[in-house]
Amino acid sequence: MTHRRILEKIGVRYEDFSKMKNLCEEIKQAIVDHPAIDSHVPVLVFFSAFNQYTLDITMDVYTLATRYDHYLAVKQEILILVYEAIKSKGAEMPLPTMNIQGVLNPVA
């Protein structure tokens, strides 16, 4: 084994649609700059779907770390980079929400 794959879907709020292009570019650059990522293999970071509650970014990259513990450490670093890039662009990852509708009928 020469590589391990990191394949993730990251959800961003619909309110942040105008930031998607720059956000994908910033995430890709942060990943390419990481020393444990093989930049000779395509680093893919693209806006990939209109999901029910999120705009989805697909990230598909290969790490040079092959030992599982090293791979997990690199994956953690990459996910932290992704989160920091989202925050730096003023975007947010949505939280699950629930709407409760109905009439409150207090018991007398």
pLDDT of residue 107: 62
Q: Is 102 left (phi over 0), alpha (psi -120 to 50) or beta?
A: left
Of 16 and 107, the one with more pLDDT = 16
Q: List the one residue out of 60, 45, 61, 39 whose CA is nearest residue 12.
A: 45
Residue 75's SS3 state is helix
Of 68 and 99, the one with more pLDDT = 68
pLDDT of residue 50: 97
pLDDT of residue 101: 65
d(CA 14, CA 55): 6
For residue 79, give the H/E element and its range: helix 68-88
pLDDT at residue 108 greater than cutoff 60:
no
pLDDT at residue 82 greater than cutoff 70:
yes
Question: Which CA distances in Å does 107 have to 56, 85, 103?
Answer: 45, 50, 12
pLDDT of residue 13: 94
Which percentage of the chain shows pLDDT scores above 70?
89
The confidence band for 95, taking pLDDT boundaries of 50, 70 and 90, is confident
Residue 87, judged by CB atoms within 10 A of its CB (0-12, 13-18, 19+), counts as exposed
Q: What is the mean pLDDT of residues 39-48?
A: 96
Of 65 and 100, the one with more pLDDT = 65
